[in-house]
Amino acid sequence: MRGMSFSARAAYTTVALVSFGLIGIALVLQHAVGLDPCPLCIFQRIAYFALALFALIAASLAPRRASRWFGVLALASALTGVGIAGRHVWLQMNPQGMSCGPGLEAMLENFPLTEVLPKVFRGSGDCSESAWTLLGLTIADWSLLWLVILSAATIYIVFARRFRPLIGH
């Protein structure tokens, strides 16, 4: 055996499984630990879900050329998540003047979507709070870190001239 190689199919599947795993951790923190998600947390979950979904579709189509288009959609989802998580980290680092307004569900029930989205990205809800940390990093910090890692992995998968083995020769 010449060593273990990682195919595009396996790489996309890994990206999807990591994304679904991180959503699972978020759900455990919400339902078992009691940490309610803020609007930006919810949007990050949506980005992770879209990333996982597109990565699974790309994996199922690999090595055909069509898988690359779904890889690009996965990458767009990951980069969108990076932007959302980056904003979340910024709000936590600069909480002055941030008020905790209603949660996303209450806003969606009471305002049109065109008003909700700007409010969410201004940090309404508990976006500036960091009630839980691990190794000194908040949930938003961890989310940003993982989204950057998943973005880099997806960039490598999509844009490598040919997907080269990641392990061994």
What region, left, alpha or beta, does residue 56 occupy, with left being phi > 0 and alpha being psi -120 to 50 degrees?
Answer: alpha
Q: What is the pTM of this model?
A: 0.74
Q: Is 135 exposed, middle or buried (0-12, 13-18, 19+ CB in 10 A)?
A: exposed
pLDDT score, position 1: 34
pLDDT (tens digit, 0 to 9) for every residue of the chain, 169 residues total?
A: 343 346 888 889 999 999 999 999 888 888 888 777 787 888 899 999 999 999 999 888 877 777 778 989 999 999 999 998 988 888 888 766 554 455 566 667 777 777 766 665 554 456 666 776 668 778 888 899 999 999 998 998 888 755 544 444 3
Fill in the DSSP letter of residue 124: -
Alpha carbon distance 159, 75 (integer Å): 11
CB 79 within 8 A of CB 108: no
Q: Is 137 exposed, middle or buried (0-12, 13-18, 19+ CB in 10 A)?
A: middle
CA dihedral defined by 37, 41, 45, 47, rounded to 10 degrees? 160
Q: Is 120 exposed, middle or buried (0-12, 13-18, 19+ CB in 10 A)?
A: buried
Architecture field, domain 8-159: Up-down Bundle (1.20)
pLDDT score, position 48: 95
pLDDT score, position 125: 53
